Every structure is written in C-alpha cells, then in structure tokens.
C-alpha cells in the first residue's frame, strides 16, 4: 500500500514536471514511466515494449523508445549502461548524476545516493576545465539479502 502511494506520487511529480516545462504528458510516456515505477528490476527497451504491448492495445516500438528517451533525458529513469536496461529514479527530484548498485547474485538493482562522491569527481574535473553533464557509477557486489 505504501509502495502504491509513493508510486503515484512519483507519477504525479512527473506529470507536474511536464506541465511546468510545457511538455506533453502523453499516454505512452505515462505507461512507460508507470511500468518502470512498478517494477523493482531493470528492464530493457524491448522488455518494456513487450510488457506494454501484451497488456493493452498495441504500441509502436518508436513510440516506446521515444518515451524512454524522454524520461531518461529528464532524469526520471536511468540507463544502466552495463545491462543496457532502465530503472526508475528513486530520488525526489530529477538529476543527471547517479550511482547504481547491482547485485551479482540476484541481479537486484538499487540506486545509491553518493552526492559526495560525484561532488569530488566534479571538483577534480573542474581543475581540468572539463564540464560534466551526466555521470553513471555502477557498483557490483552482493546485496544485503544475498549476504545473509
Ligand atoms: Zn536517480
Ligand atoms: Zn542479491
């Protein structure tokens, strides 16, 4: 129940984000984001397409891919480079720098808040006059459940 509330909160936040920035909160965008919010596992673009197609009316691949791109660009979902898959962001505001933990044993993925780490990277890079617009940190290991 608690999960459901926070899930719809996140969807509402995304909706408000669209309104504020004059983006359209289209049905495909809504369906892609709700799907990722309801799953706690990374999904590839093809899996997202398949899951959305089987449930309701057919949805065209470019429509789904564009919706994924839109949420990714705006920081609501993250692409896990090493898995070529996507997860919904667990943060309360959209952001472009994130850190993901992937369990080698059960494949569970969670987002970690490591602001200080990305901050220190940013500082190092500032000295070299490089501008970072996006960063991904992927950490691998075994999760709490698998360690028991
Ligand atoms: Zn995030
Ligand atoms: Zn695990």
Domain borders along the chain are 2-88, 97-147
Give the CATH architecture of domain 2-88.
Answer: Orthogonal Bundle (1.10)
CA of 111 to the centre of ligand 1 (A): 6
The pLDDT of 74-101, averaged and rounded, is 83
CA of 91 to the centre of ligand 1 (A): 5
Is pTM beyond 0.85? Reply is no
Structure confidence at residue 2 as a pLDDT band (50, 70, 90) = very low
What's the CATH number for 97-147?
3.30.1490.190
Q: Which ligand is nearest to the CA of 112?
A: 1
Q: What is the C-alpha to C-alpha distance for residues 148 and 145, in angstroms, rounded to an integer?
A: 6
Surrounding residues of ion ligand 1, Cβ less than 5 A:
89, 91, 98
In contact, 111 and 86? CB cutoff 8 Å: no
Per residue in 54-78, pLDDT tens? 655 678 899 999 999 999 988 899 9
CA of 92 to the centre of ligand 1 (A): 8
CA of 95 to the centre of ligand 1 (A): 6
């Amino acid at each position: 129940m608690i999960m459901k509330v926070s899930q719809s909160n996140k969807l509402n936040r995304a909706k408000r984000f669209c309104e504020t920035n004059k983006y359209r909160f289209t049905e495909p965008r809504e369906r892609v984001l709700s799907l990722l919010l309801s799953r706690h596992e990374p999904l590839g673009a093809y899996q997202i397409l398949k899951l959305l197609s089987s449930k309701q009316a057919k949805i065209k691949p470019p429509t789904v891919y564009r919706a994924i791109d839109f949420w990714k660009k705006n920081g609501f979902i993250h692409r896990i480079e090493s898995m070529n898959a996507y997860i919904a962001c667990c943060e309360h505001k959209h952001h472009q720098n994130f850190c993901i933990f992937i369990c080698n044993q059960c494949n569970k993925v969670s987002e970690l808040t490591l602001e200080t780490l990305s901050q220190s990277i940013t500082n190092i890079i500032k000295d070299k006059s490089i501008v970072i617009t996006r960063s991904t940190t992927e950490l691998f290991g075994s999760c709490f459940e698998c360690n028991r």
